[in-house]
Structure 1
Amino acid sequence: MSDPIPAEPAPAAPRAEPADLDLLRSDLTAADYTLDGVRAVIGDVAAGALEREEAWPARRATADLHTPAAVLLRLFQLGEDVARADLDGALAGLGTAGAERLGLVTTAGAGGGDAVRARCDLTPHAFVDAAGEAQWWIASDRSELARRGAIGEDHVLGVGGASRTLAQITVRDPRERVLDVGTGCGIQALHAAQHARAVVGTDVDPRALAFARFNAGLAGADLDLREGSMLDPVRGETFDLVVSNPPFVITPRGPGGQVGDFTYRDGGQVGDDVVRSLVTTVGQVLAPGGVAQLLGNWEHRRGEAWRERVGEWLAEAGLDGWVVQREVQDPAEYAELWLRDGGLTPDRDRARYEAAYGAWLDDLASRDVEGVGFGFVTLRRPAGAGAEVSPWRRVEEITGTVAQPLGGAIAGVLRAVDLLRDLTPEALLERRWQVAPDVSDERFFTPGEASPRVMLLRAGGGFGRTVRAETGLAAFVGACDGELTGAQIVAALGALLEVDATALAAELEPQLRGLVTDGLLLPAP
């Protein structure tokens, strides 16, 4: 190939030209530039390494390959220059000239052997969420892997672990209007477009919106994209679903700039105020029955229970609220995570690395932070609920394995909360219930004993809840086949166990509410 192309800092986002996007979509499909297609080219080992952001096995596997999928992989994901003739073959309809018109590549010349370099990342993305399966190609700024160096502070992030998590936990029943706050490259908005009539995405970064516009055009989605901070562009409007992977990273504030103010992760506020502010204000744009789901970090401060602190945010929001903490990191772990994320490592710039590391530890220590929690928040404005209705709230930690996608399980909990809200204790027992199909009854015996020492009800899906059951509860659930009412079961158990049925009903009622809320018991049809 010709001489290398000079580096270009912070290139403009690609352009969303409809005719060229149609050609690009057709070419990428024909090239089998998909996750499965790439895996077929480089093999399982190299594909697994690539998922861990290790490029060397994929570079080895494609070094002498000129097939369309291999050329596109080397160009857009591995950060390698390719020959113009190879790219013309890989994009048979659009060609290198069309890719250059879209702003995807820059070239060293018009000859077949001249070098072509990607100006952005273009990665296949396949997923399964609560709405089903789909596949897109997502453009974003070139990753650290492709750049072979640190990313810039105006970096537009592609699809990462956090965005995949949010997509999987989002409820996917049909919605009229959806809002994606801090849309970035537009991935959450694209998911929402699968099940909503209208989708609005907001972002403070115009480059991010340009990437989102390109990705929407390539996916054939119609998005309303607006520039502005958080909820500012939609004041006075309401939505049935709000999703957000906000810039929640707790970042040191102050002079020096050692840490870097990365637009995609730093909301410019102190501590966890970005998440607190969104939790407490998102209700302003929620329609009755509307749900908001967001990811976030929150500080664990010395002498203050984190559940109480985050619970105060829910109380201020005045909505149904559910916080699930999935992980906790100590201050050093947290600093190391986000230093690596920004490409700042001791082997590249030890002095700056140590200064930034110290700034992070000092910032967290200034607020007596002992750890940082990561998880997700679900909020909901009850439909038709009057002022007399008490919001449902739950703040919990679930660190074990869960069955993704969780969107359906979360939607089921919200439906159960609505059902139980209107049921008195008497009405609860007048209903007929049935055990969810994924629930197992596990019993543990001490050798030689006839009766079980421990009885567990375990859900196989969703959050994998496990409930320890005493004799009365286990017997009640065992009789829930959808034929008898709860009251009939309690009366029969009272006679069988020789206990007062009224007292047994009072004992079981709160436990049954818990089982219904968590989906272990379902209303019989």
Structure 2
Amino acid sequence: MSDTPAPTPAPLLCAALAADLDAADLRSEPLRSLWGEEADDALARGMREPILRAIRGDDGVLATLGRLLVLGMPQPRSAVDTALPRLGVDGLVALGLATADDETVTPIALLRPQSFVDAEGVGEWWIASDLDEVALDGALPPDHVLGVGGASRTLAEIVVPIEVDRALDLGTGCGIQALLVARRAGTVVATDISARALAYAEMNALLNGVGNIEFRLGSMFEPVVGEAFDLIVSNPPFVITPRGDDVPEYEYRDGGLVGDALVELFVRTAPTYLTAGGIAQLLGNWESRDGVTGLARLEAWVPAELDLWVIEREQLSPLAYAELWIRDGGTTPRDRAFTPLLTAWLDDFAARGVTSIGFGYVLLRRGGGMPLRRTERLVQHVSGVGQALGTGLHGHDLLAEGVPATLLTAPDVTEARHLLPGNDDPSVIELRQGGGFARTVNVDPALAAFVGASDGELTVGQIAQALADLFDVPLPELWAELEPRIRSLVLDGFLVPAE
């Protein structure tokens, strides 16, 4: 366990700290301007020396707070008192973010600005978390509270941007998802099995003036038994870790179960806590075992009447997976502990017949009509995933009543035609999405013409009749060919209903 106590989220002290940080302009762009883009990017790769070189000799307020709170380095007490005139060093210590003597203030937590973009615009929060492996210069303690990492940013991007009354952030960690969801929810309940994590999450809510989040301690859904939510989001501790006394278990990533049982438990349990039409979204890992793919195993866990949309973004071998997460804990092949840990991971996977491990997004919805059941693997660059998922769900609901009367080609769709030398007719016609899931779909001339004519003015029936006349094909025959492919384009967001 960590040698440092959890922070103390005192409202008045947090307000004073926020005022000092605001006055110092401790935000992403000013810091990036202070020490340069290259040095800032290097910090994301675990190197702080470029920043230290860039601000060497700078004793200003922003440089002092950058070293103290962003890098996690001791600073002179007099400089910190100057940089935090409202809170002071004593207040920083009382919050549990630092220790101090007569000369030096030593940080025991990080506090970094984190920018975000959502439907309401661009914003930024201050996010406190435990010192990372760069500041600690070694392995992380098991109860480490992670700041905003890659998985946090991924979950934030995939959440469907809907307005809801009640939301649940299960396994809130430092609280970043709860803060994001709180912008579109009346009330958010944020839970975690770690009291330390909840203390950070509450502090971050106070620092950023977010007051519609309720924090509860407990495992999985235990803190919300009997309740229902319009939206559930979770970046759970899904990392598959061998169980054993010699294998460290990190609260922020290890759920304490064997294999992918934690993801299974979530997707089997979450529907009970959804309102009608409610959505649950999570990140997870799933194992392919003895010839059964992870996607097939996952689909079998979800009741047939629920909407299910799974997107697998990555697939790793047992060796690659083990190395990734051993290194994540701060252990490298140079360390004596690396080989025993690697052996434990590989033995664990072998015992279950695991051949690969998938990573991706899971969306569940308690719908009311014909359920959407979609599992797919997408490895291309994606953007605006939450909006794309929302578009797909909306399209699925519309298609339950038939193809909409009037359709419009989405503004990010382009067409590419490939011709063999000397030929006037294309051998391949592709429709390409510029955003969302960046899908590419091969189409024939009739479907390409349909999409090209879908300008929101002509009805689907008018376009189909014109194409039947053009290609000299009976309308029923043409429609039988076009209709299922038009449905797919609506579901994938190439075609959207005209307003």
What TM-score, normalized to structure 1?
0.92
1:391 is paired with a residue of what secondary structure?
A: coil
Q: State how 1:408-419 maps to structure 2 within 5 Å.
A: 408-419=387-398
Q: Give, in angstroms, the shift of residue 163 of structure 1.
A: 0.4
Asked whether the 8 Å contact 2:72–2:108 carries over to 1, the reply is no
Q: Greater shift after overlay, 482-491 or 265-274? A: 482-491
Q: Give, in angstroms, the shift of residue 131 of structure 1.
A: 4.1
Q: State how 1:86-105 maps to structure 2 within 5 Å.
A: 86-105=79-98
Asked whether the 8 Å contact 1:239–1:286 carries over to 2, the reply is yes
Query: Residue in 2 aligned with 1:458?
Result: 432
Query: Residue in 2 aligned with 1:126?
Result: 115
Aligned residue-pair number: 498
Q: Does 1:359 align with 2:349?
A: no
Query: Residue in 2 aligned with 1:377?
Result: 362
Q: 1:317 to 1:82 in 2, by over 3 A?
A: farther
Pick from 10, 17, 23: which aligns with 2:16?
23
Q: Does 1:396 align with 2:386?
A: no
Please list every run of 5 or more consecutive structure 2 residues that lacks an aligned counterpart in the other structure.
none
Q: Does 1:142 align with 2:131?
A: yes
Q: State how 1:281-320 maps to structure 2 within 5 Å.
A: 281-314=269-302, 316=303, 318-320=305-307
Q: Give, in angstroms, the shift of residue 484 of structure 1.
A: 2.0
Q: Give, in angstroms, the shift of residue 63 of structure 1.
A: 3.0
Q: Does 1:436 align with 2:429?
A: no
Query: Residue in 2 aligned with 1:3?
Result: none
Q: Give, in angstroms, the shift of residue 457 of structure 1.
A: 0.9
Task: Tell me the alpha carbon deviations over residues 101-159 of structure 1, each in whole angstroms, 9 at most, x when there is no partner.
Answer: 211111122xxxx0110111111111113443211111111101111111100111111
Query: Residue in 1 aligned with 2:455?
Result: 481
Q: State how 1:102-251 maps to structure 2 within 5 Å.
A: 102-109=95-102, 114-222=103-211, 223-251=213-241
Pick from 317, 338, 343: which aligns with 1:330?
317
Question: What letter is aligned with 2:265?
Answer: S
Q: Give, in angstroms, the shift of residue 317 of structure 1.
A: 6.5
Q: State how 1:60-99 maps to structure 2 within 5 Å.
A: 60-99=53-92
Asked whether the 8 Å contact 1:130–1:171 carries over to 2, the reply is no
Distance 2:62 2:339 in 1: 41
Question: What letter is aligned with 1:120?
Answer: A
Asked whether the 8 Å contact 2:304–2:371 carries over to 1, the reply is no
Q: Greater shift after overlay, 502-511 or 10-19? A: 10-19
Asked whether the 8 Å contact 2:2–2:143 carries over to 1, the reply is no
Q: Greater shift after overlay, 91-100 or 281-290? A: 91-100
Q: 1:306 to 1:171 in 2, by over 3 A?
A: same
Task: Tell me the alpha carbon deviations over residues 18-62 of structure 1, each in whole angstroms, 9 at most, x when there is no partner.
Answer: 221111111111112111111111111110101212111112223
Question: What letter is aligned with 1:431?
Answer: A
Task: Tell me the alpha carbon deviations over residues 302-333 of structure 1, each in whole angstroms, 9 at most, x when there is no partner.
Answer: 3113332222123x374101000111111111
Q: 1:503 to 1:135 in 2, by over 3 A?
A: same
Distance 1:59 1:456 in 2: 50
Query: Residue in 1 aligned with 2:249?
Result: 261
Question: What letter is aligned with 1:332?
Answer: L
Task: Tell me the alpha carbon deviations over residues 220-251 of structure 1, each in whole angstroms, 9 at most, x when there is no partner.
Answer: 11211111111111111111110000000000
Asked whether the 8 Å contact 1:127–1:135 carries over to 2, the reply is yes
Asked whether the 8 Å contact 1:247–1:267 carries over to 2, the reply is yes
Q: Greater shift after overlay, 33-42 or 58-67? A: 58-67
1:57 is paired with a residue of what secondary structure?
A: helix
Question: What letter is aligned with 1:465?
Answer: R
Task: Tell me the alpha carbon deviations over residues 60-108 of structure 1, each in whole angstroms, 9 at most, x when there is no partner.
Answer: 2233221112111211232321000110111122111211121111112
Task: Tell me the alpha carbon deviations over residues 385-409 of structure 1, each in whole angstroms, 9 at most, x when there is no partner.
Answer: 2xxx331110001101112x32222
Query: Residue in 1 aligned with 2:262?
Result: 274
Q: CA-atom RMSD, angstroms?
A: 1.4
Distance 2:88 2:293 in 1: 59
Task: Tell me the alpha carbon deviations over residues 424-450 of structure 1, each in whole angstroms, 9 at most, x when there is no partner.
Answer: xxxx2x601111111111111111111
Distance 2:415 2:220 in 1: 46
Question: What letter is aligned with 1:498?
Answer: D
Query: Residue in 1 aligned with 2:470?
Result: 496
Question: What letter is aligned with 2:390?
Answer: A
